[in-house]
């Protein structure tokens, strides 16, 4: 951390910064220039230290971080790529893993038709929400436990593991009984109580990016899960809110190579929630694979026109099947594959 003193800072104020740093067991390097003094604070934990501790001291002009606030999710902490394994399916390896299914579990028939379609097209994980985080309390909130039971039944019937969202700390145990992978949604990325609860369980987890969060905040949220002892963390880029309103969110394609550089965790992409419309999904999905995503989370509905939610962004089974063929070609062109 670098503390830049004001030009007018007195020797006493510089000493105040040095004393505060020493009280925190940090090493100090003083750079006394002709105009002003710069204090470099050195220590292994400066990334986790609040910069406000120094910003508040008299005579301080600015405090700049050098270390990132996240630790366990960083490449410095673990150089090798982490692999997350679900029933023998590895996420973070050469294979680009596709998770697909409806936004929400609506009925037995809907889920069975979706599962059959996505499995036949080559998806290896079935998605479907039983607990839905909705902007309005008057919107369909999901089938809740009845939805989890349907997910379990259909998962067994078609021999396909399931990813489903958990929205409340009190439901972590319940949802992890039914799901192979828990999903923490965009709106809950910084729900620290939920992160702590999921960190304590040993179920793999997809951590979606908060739509108003930086990559640094996202990786720091992942640290909550890792610090709790849950090492099976998969990041999911799903678009952020920008001034651009021609798609539902702006997919930050840059985040994929940035994550690969900064973190050892696998990262997948959800093109559906970024797009908001089915016509945009294939191009975004292909771009994600080309950019190095380890997997995709795609909404597919047997009959999008009848969907209770997110029908506009859901692919039909035939569009999804066509897309899977295209994705396989993109994956192969960069030395990866979709279909074994």
Contacts to ligand PEP by CB under 6 A? 103, 129, 133, 185-187, 208, 238, 270, 273
Distances, alpha carbon 293 to alpha carbons 30, 102, 157, 172, 269, in Å = 43, 21, 29, 27, 6
Judging by beta carbons within 10 Å of its beta carbon (0-12, 13-18, 19+), is residue 241 exposed, middle or buried? middle
Q: How far is the CB of 295 from Mn ion (least distance, A)?
A: 17
Site for Mn ion in 287-316 (CB under 5 A): 310
Taking the least distance from each CB to ligand PEP, the nearer of 129 and 161 is 129
Q: Which residues pair with 111 in a beta bridge?
A: none
Position with the least CB separation from ligand PEP: 185
Q: How far is the CB of 255 from Mn ion (least distance, A)?
A: 20
Taking the least distance from each CB to ligand PEP, the nearer of 102 and 317 is 102
Q: Are 40 and 17 in contact (CB under 8 A)?
A: no
Q: Which does 199 bind (CB under 5 to 8 A by kind): Mn ion, ligand PEP, none?
A: none
Q: Which does 124 bind (CB under 5 to 8 A by kind): Mn ion, ligand PEP, none?
A: none
Q: How far is the CB of 272 from Mn ion (least distance, A)?
A: 7
Q: Which does 301 bind (CB under 5 to 8 A by kind): Mn ion, ligand PEP, none?
A: none
Buried b (16+ CB within 10 A) or exposed e, 244-283: eeebbbbbbbebbebbbebbbbbbbbbbbbbbbebebbbe
Q: How far is the CB of 186 from ligand PEP (least distance, A)?
A: 4
Taking the least distance from each CB to ligand PEP, the nearer of 63 and 259 is 259
**Strand 97-101 versus strand 295-299 pairing type:** parallel
Alpha-carbon Rg for the chain, nearest whole angstrom, is: 23
- What is the C-alpha to C-alpha distance for residues 146 and 131, in angstroms, rounded to an integer? 10
Q: Are 83 and 266 in contact (CB under 8 A)?
A: yes
Site for Mn ion in 84-123 (CB under 5 A): 103
Q: Are 125 and 181 in contact (CB under 8 A)?
A: yes
Buried b (16+ CB within 10 A) or exposed e, 127-138: bbbbbbeeeeee
Q: Which does 276 bind (CB under 5 to 8 A by kind): Mn ion, ligand PEP, none?
A: none
Q: Which residues pair with 219 in a beta bridge?
A: none
Q: Which does 336 bind (CB under 5 to 8 A by kind): Mn ion, ligand PEP, none?
A: none
Taking the least distance from each CB to ligand PEP, the nearer of 1 and 126 is 126
Site for Mn ion in 154-173 (CB under 5 A): none
Taking the least distance from each CB to Mn ion, the nearer of 63 and 103 is 103
Q: How far is the CB of 77 from ligand PEP (least distance, A)?
A: 26
Q: How far is the CB of 183 from ligand PEP (least distance, A)?
A: 6
Q: Contact residues for Mn ion (CB under 5 A)? A: 103, 310
């Amino acid at each position: 951390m670098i503390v830049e003193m004001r030009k007018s800072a007195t020797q006493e104020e510089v000493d105040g910064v040095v004393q505060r740093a020493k009280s925190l067991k940090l090493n100090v390097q003083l750079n006394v220039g002709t105009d002003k003094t710069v204090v470099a604070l050195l220590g292994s934990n400066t990334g986790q230290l609040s910069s406000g501790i120094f910003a508040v001291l008299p005579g301080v002009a600015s405090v700049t971080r050098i270390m990132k606030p996240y630790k366990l999710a960083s490449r410095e902490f673990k150089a090798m790529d982490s692999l997350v394994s679900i029933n023998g399916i590895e996420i973070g390896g050469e294979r680009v893993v596709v998770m697909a299914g409806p936004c929400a579990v609506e009925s037995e028939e809907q889920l069975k038709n979706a599962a059959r379609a996505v499995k036949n097209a080559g998806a290896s994980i079935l998605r479907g929400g039983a607990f839905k985080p909705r902007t309005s309390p008057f919107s369909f909130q999901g089938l809740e436990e009845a939805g989890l039971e349907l997910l379990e039944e259909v998962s067994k019937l078609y021999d396909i593991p399931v990813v489903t969202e958990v929205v409340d700390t009190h439901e972590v145990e319940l949802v992890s009984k039914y799901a192979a992978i828990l999903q923490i949604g965009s709106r809950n990325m910084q729900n620290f109580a939920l992160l702590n609860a999921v960190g304590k369980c040993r179920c793999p987890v997809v951590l979606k990016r908060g739509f108003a969060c930086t990559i640094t905040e996202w990786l720091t949220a992942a640290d909550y899960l890792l610090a709790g002892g849950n090492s099976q963390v998969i990041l999911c880029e799903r678009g952020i809110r920008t001034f651009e309103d021609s798609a539902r969110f702006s997919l930050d394609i840059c985040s994929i190579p940035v994550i690969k550089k900064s973190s050892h965790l696998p990262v997948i992409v959800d093109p559906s929630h970024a797009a908001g419309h089915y016509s945009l999904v294939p191009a975004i999905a292909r771009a994600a694979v080309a950019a190095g995503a380890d997997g995709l989370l795609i909404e597919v509905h047997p009959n999008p026109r009848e969907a209770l939610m997110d029908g506009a962004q859901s692919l039909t089974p035939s569009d999804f099947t066509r897309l899977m063929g295209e994705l396989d070609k993109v994956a192969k062109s960069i030395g990866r594959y979709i279909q074994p």
